[in-house]
Structure 1
Amino acid sequence: MDRSQGRDNWPAMHRAFGWQVPEDFNIAQACCARWARRPDAEQRVAIRAHAAQGDATLSFAQLQREANAMSNLLLGLGVHRGDRVAIVMPQRYETAIAYMAVFQLGAVAMPLSMLFGPEALEYRLQDSEAVVAICDESSIANVAQVRAQCPTLRTVMGIGAAAAQADLSWEAQRAALAEDFAPAATHADDGAVLIYTSGTTGPPKGALIPHRALVGNLPGFVCSQNWFGFDPLRPSESEAVFWSPADWAWTGGLMDALLPSLYFGRPIVAFNGRFGPDLAFALMQEHGVTHTFLFPTALKAMMKAWPEPRKKFALKLQAIMSAGEAVGDAVFAYCRDQLGVVVNEMFGQTEINYVVGNCSMNGATQGGVGWPARAGSMGRPYPGHRVALIDDEGHEVPPGVPGDVAVNRYDVHGEPDPIFFLGYWKNPESTHRKFTGDWCRTGDLATRDADGYLWYQGRADDVFKAAGYRIGPSEIENCLVKHPAVINAAVVPKPDPERGALVKAYVVLAPNVVEARAITTRDRHAFDAQLIEDLQMHVKGKLAPYEYPKEIEFIEALPMTTTGKVQRRVLRLQEEERARARLSA
């Protein structure tokens, strides 16, 4: 065990932890109403707007009043308990208001990304049978385009400039709406969020998340955020300020950022704009951000753009959580050495979020909490969750053997784990296939070491064989990113008649290399050939001989889901299509 990072409190934390889930529970009451009843509710900031043109903050008292007004409006539109309400907006005040309004009404919030095109929106609006959609200018045109194909969608509410294309304007209705609302009494097991999977392995499925899942998320959030500004020995008021570029329309932005920040009565920064390394550092400096969730793709871009960021920016970071892809030791070292924070990698998925991760406490694992993070590891099961690696028959595999990461319905004490989703919307067969007995399969492969740390191997359908060797893309991608010329990479199999498949890497080059490549007009082929050879030798020198990419293709950007995950499936299908074309030529 690495003593330089402090004590290992993981075994004791698991033994001591027990769930306390009330029978009646509502996310809006826990995240807003209880703070709005406090004497400091008018001053306690819930949301800070970055680069705001108007009011720069929204207090918990204001959030509650606006949520009450919107609940009354939705009730007047005929929204009842259990009805699905689509929220198609970016990080802004009205997005948080809409979530609180829907939750306290007892309805089901359906987050939809503003990045979705008409086809993606139509599929989800139809499948969910949403009755109302709340849109701003970023999404109204696409929603309006598919409105006629969504028969259950009775009303489209417009926020701001979207009002002109909507059935009604939120702002126009607001003045006449009462600011008092009697919230519905919801059970912890009632549905709260219908959020669609990112579709990395097939058509998106709607995962119905209950109110209790927020409670299930809290151990992972607190651990991955190094106790979120609370001193475990002397609990007091936290001074945490949270920010993440993660869209509030997906699990990482909603369940890992917005809702837990509000649950602890702390402000979250909202930014409605394009992510960039300069923007990220400037925003964190301006708002004094102490805690953040930055996915690996973002950290890689920040690492390449600002190798020594603390020479330029005054940062107050206390914790960084990262998830969505494997972090890798290059990013791990950058966060530790250049940002002064040991990154806590986390693993979860839409259906069962925050189940595995780290709690490094930045080397101060004292007071009976925390455990050392290991570079490249996805961590250990968070307290309250029983996690194992299982084979096809549902048996646990021994250390060092790849297995499917699975979470049991019951914790180590035999109590029900509240983090579980209720099932896939109108899809009982897929829900049934998700489980082997009481084990919920994630479809992600990992190995376990002797100390219980898990090491990500990739999606089960991303792992492939080349010349008889089993290839996991994550290790090769992480190695490529260590090269100064590479910002990001994705590894997929290229069909090969002799070896079955060969290792191919799609590589996104760093800006300075792109510029050098652009001005090499007379001998581009030689430039590329030398760069490819350099990258291949780089991997050969660090990994097994059979792992180096036999072919490298430069690409401007990798195909990504709206949740920030690389869509290797898109690249794999592209290679298969090219192979068919070669055979038919």
Structure 2
Amino acid sequence: MKILCKARAFGAHFSAGTCARLLSKDQKLGTPQNFSNYEDIKLNYKPKVPEYFNFANDIIDEWAINRKEAGKSSNPALWWIDGSGEEVKWSFEELGFLSRKAANVLSDACNLKPGDRVIVILPRVPEWWLLNVACIRAGVVLIPGTTQLTAKDILHRLQTSMAKCIITSDCLVEAVDSVAAQSPFLQTKMLISTERRDGWLDFKGLFQVANDKHTCVKTKSSDPMTIFFTSGTTGSPKMTEHSHCSYGLGLKVNGKYWMDLTPTDIVWNMSDTGWAKSAWSSVFAPWIQGSCVFAHSMPRFDTNIVLKTLSTFPITTFCSAPTAYRMLVLQNFASYKFKSLQHCVSAGEPINPQVMEQWKEQTGLDIYEGYGQTETVLICGTFKGMKIKPGSMGKPSPAYDVEIVDENGNVLPQGKEGDIAIRILPQKPFCLFSQYTGDPERTASTRRGNFYLTGDRGIKDEDGYFWFVGRSDDVILSSGYRIGPFEVESALIEHPAVAESAVVSSPDPIRGEVVKAFVVLAPAYNGYDPEKLALELQEHVRNITAPYKYPRKIEFVQQLPKTVSGKIRRNELRNREWGNV
């Protein structure tokens, strides 16, 4: 068992330059981490936020001092591999040194001032982590993006964010150049590459000659630190703004309580660098805890590479989306031994109970589910020492007071379905996003009474566990029944013929709307009689769920439409069904 935070660091007033020291002392309390005393932890969690805070100075640099004072070898801050023998290991001290040089490149060569915005679109390369810290150190607002963005996506982000600089790699040079002239605020383009390009600054060349002396910008805790464009499951992507404290301090709850991290851990998070989940589990949560971030460049998900990496390297904590776990459990684990792996977590979407069972059969380890959003830190989770209820998202994290509310913002009793909401009055949690930048109406639309609305529907059971029903606009109303797509999808995925599915409403002259499933078949079932297979799947769902929930319509497809962050675009399928295209 690992150690438990008694809220000593969070219970005291943070002061700049001492935060990480407090965190490191907290690691030495020696109390076993166990959420059997969940209510005490919730009660004692009383964070106080300093007026000034900067993650680079108050976490990274303080861990560097802490490790140096300890005078002994320890895990690196970053351990990166490319699968072909190339490897990078940076200690916290080296990360601090290198990020100061990178911060000078941003300030001097790119002419970026505190508060300016920069879009960074990079694959899993060490420079991505370096620039995360450098932007924070320079007071520049970081806007991450996935390398899957198209030229149209990039143009939207450049115009909407008014970013003055964009940093990317060879793969997106042409896309950026094709829209740069339509981006009036863009002043500088910088390339992470071995080759130089006309019109682009050369980061590596500038970095080599950059000064290693840099005074960290004194940022207020409330100053903007990063902006994420949400994945846009409905409507256009929103600019979700986080302050220096909301992620820089707030994600401690993720690292300590849900991911169960200490300085001896090595955590591998599979998230794409453009997702908020990468900030969660590849930057802030582990480094707040002094843990090592492991990274594999792996441009495409490969089950064999993942399993080999988990069995070859001393990774203690594995974090991935349910889609990856679903693909992994289809493999034969017989030749893999995960000698170091201790803790597995999943987030991004609900994970199927069957997948959790299969993972435990193969590895002996449970998967601890977490639920949150780009706008938040961990909202709910299943924590070490807590009973796992497969299919549940667990209990509220210490950061939030979470309730199920009705259309008027009234708290609903246990067992009643409603909107999942976070209490923001009388005091807004510091680890909630600041605003949808430039969109006060959309920001205001998330509030109902004393609560922030997540946009998700759920139920709270008699034990205080929360259960996900679906997005508020995904719930299907059929013959008076409310049907959440996730339960139907979970039932479908248990059938060996189903590789992936998406469930939406479809118009029906008698019932108003019925459940329709779009199904991607497993390779072994391609060529099967579709009518016969559809009947088999319908009967299967009837046996797994309530009879009224089975999909009355099934369409077999080659692939499902997804956002750049990998989430299924149910709204696109639903609009197609209802003719709203």
Q: Provide TM-score, normalisation by structure 2.
A: 0.89
Superposition pairs for residues 329-368 of structure 1, below 5 Å?
329-359=353-383, 361=384, 365=385
Please list the CA deviations of residues 475-509 of structure 1 after superposition, one character each: whole Å capped at 9, or x if unmatched: 01001111122222111112222222221111122
| Aligned counterpart, 2:563 | 561
| Aligned counterpart, 2:89 | 57
| Aligned counterpart, 1:381 | 396
Deviation of 1:163 (Å)? 3.5
| Aligned counterpart, 1:291 | 317
Q: Name which of 384, 400, 404 aligns with 2:415.
A: 400
| Aligned counterpart, 1:504 | 516
Higher relative contact order (CA 8 A, sep 6+): 1
| Aligned counterpart, 1:457 | 469
Q: Which moved more, 1:29-38 or 1:315-324?
A: 29-38
Match of 1:110, SS state, is strand
Q: Residues of 2 paired with 1:42 and 1:170: CA distance? A: 31
Match of 1:13, SS state, is helix
Which structure 1 residue ranges, 5 or more long, are not aligned? 1-5, 231-237, 366-370, 518-523, 581-585
2:500 matched to 1:488? yes
Q: Residues of 1 paired with 2:558 and 2:76: CA distance? A: 40
Aligned Cα root-mean-square deviation (Å): 2.1
Native 8 Å contact 2:399 2:431 kept in 1: no
Native 8 Å contact 2:163 2:186 kept in 1: yes
Match of 1:9, SS state, is helix
Q: Name which of 188, 210, 216 aligns with 2:250.
A: 216
Q: Which moved more, 1:202-211 or 1:47-56?
A: 47-56
Q: Residues of 2 paired with 1:59 and 1:565: CA distance? A: 34
| Aligned counterpart, 2:30 | none
2:299 matched to 1:305? no
Q: Residues of 1 paired with 2:447 and 2:427: CA distance? A: 18
Match of 1:142, SS state, is helix
Q: Residues of 2 paired with 1:289 and 1:223: CA distance? A: 18
Native 8 Å contact 2:476 2:515 kept in 1: no
Please list the CA deviations of residues 39-62 of structure 1 after superposition, one character each: whole Å capped at 9, or x if unmatched: 269975222222255443233233
Deviation of 1:397 (Å)? 0.9
Please list the CA deviations of residues 89-120 of structure 1 after superposition, one character each: whole Å capped at 9, or x if unmatched: 02211001111111011111010111111111
- Seen in structure 2, the aligned counterparts of structure 1 residues 115 and 162 have a Cα distance that, compared at 3 Å, is farther
Native 8 Å contact 1:32 1:60 kept in 2: yes
Q: Residues of 2 paired with 1:9 and 1:566: CA distance? A: 37
- Seen in structure 2, the aligned counterparts of structure 1 residues 54 and 342 have a Cα distance that, compared at 3 Å, is closer
Write the letter of the residue equivalent to 1:27.
Answer: F
- Seen in structure 2, the aligned counterparts of structure 1 residues 310 and 29 have a Cα distance that, compared at 3 Å, is farther
| Aligned counterpart, 2:424 | 409
Q: Residues of 2 paired with 1:121 and 1:110: CA distance? A: 11
Q: Residues of 1 paired with 2:341 and 2:86: CA distance? A: 27
Write the letter of the residue equivalent to 1:45.
Answer: P
- Seen in structure 2, the aligned counterparts of structure 1 residues 337 and 30 have a Cα distance that, compared at 3 Å, is farther
Q: Residues of 2 paired with 1:90 and 1:162: CA distance? A: 17
| Aligned counterpart, 2:5 | none
| Aligned counterpart, 2:545 | 543
Work out the percentage of aligned pairs sharing the same amino acid.
Answer: 30
Deviation of 1:8 (Å)? 3.0
Deviation of 1:389 (Å)? 0.9
Q: Residues of 1 paired with 2:539 and 2:400: CA distance? A: 42
Superposition pairs for residues 38-437 of structure 1, below 5 Å?
38-39=67-68, 44-50=75-81, 51=83, 54-76=86-108, 77-161=110-194, 163-164=196-197, 166-214=199-247, 215-225=249-259, 227-228=260-261, 230=262, 238-272=263-297, 273-306=299-332, 309=333, 311-359=335-383, 361=384, 365=385, 371-409=386-424, 416-437=428-449
Q: Which moved more, 1:422-431 or 1:333-342?
A: 333-342
Deviation of 1:315 (Å)? 4.5
- Seen in structure 2, the aligned counterparts of structure 1 residues 23 and 548 have a Cα distance that, compared at 3 Å, is same
- Seen in structure 2, the aligned counterparts of structure 1 residues 41 and 274 have a Cα distance that, compared at 3 Å, is farther
- Seen in structure 2, the aligned counterparts of structure 1 residues 337 and 166 have a Cα distance that, compared at 3 Å, is farther
- Seen in structure 2, the aligned counterparts of structure 1 residues 182 and 220 have a Cα distance that, compared at 3 Å, is same
Q: Residues of 2 paired with 1:41 and 1:162: CA distance? A: 39
Native 8 Å contact 1:295 1:564 kept in 2: no
Deviation of 1:184 (Å)? 0.6
Write the letter of the residue equivalent to 2:348.
Answer: G
Which structure 2 residue ranges, 5 or more long, are not aligned? 1-33
Native 8 Å contact 2:322 2:350 kept in 1: yes
Q: Residues of 2 paired with 1:462 and 1:389: CA distance? A: 17
Please list the CA deviations of residues 304-349 of structure 1 after superposition, one character each: whole Å capped at 9, or x if unmatched: 234xx25534343222221121112112212333222221111111
Q: Residues of 2 paired with 1:41 and 1:194: CA distance? A: 37
Native 8 Å contact 2:136 2:225 kept in 1: yes
Q: Name which of 64, 69, 72 aligns with 1:36.
A: 64
Write the letter of the residue equivalent to 1:380.
Answer: K
Q: Residues of 2 paired with 1:262 and 1:513: CA distance? A: 45
Match of 2:154, SS state, is helix
Match of 2:251, SS state, is helix
Native 8 Å contact 1:399 1:448 kept in 2: yes
Deviation of 1:30 (Å)? 3.8
Q: How many residues align?
A: 542
Q: Residues of 2 paired with 1:182 and 1:246: CA distance? A: 31
Native 8 Å contact 1:243 1:291 kept in 2: yes
Native 8 Å contact 1:7 1:372 kept in 2: no
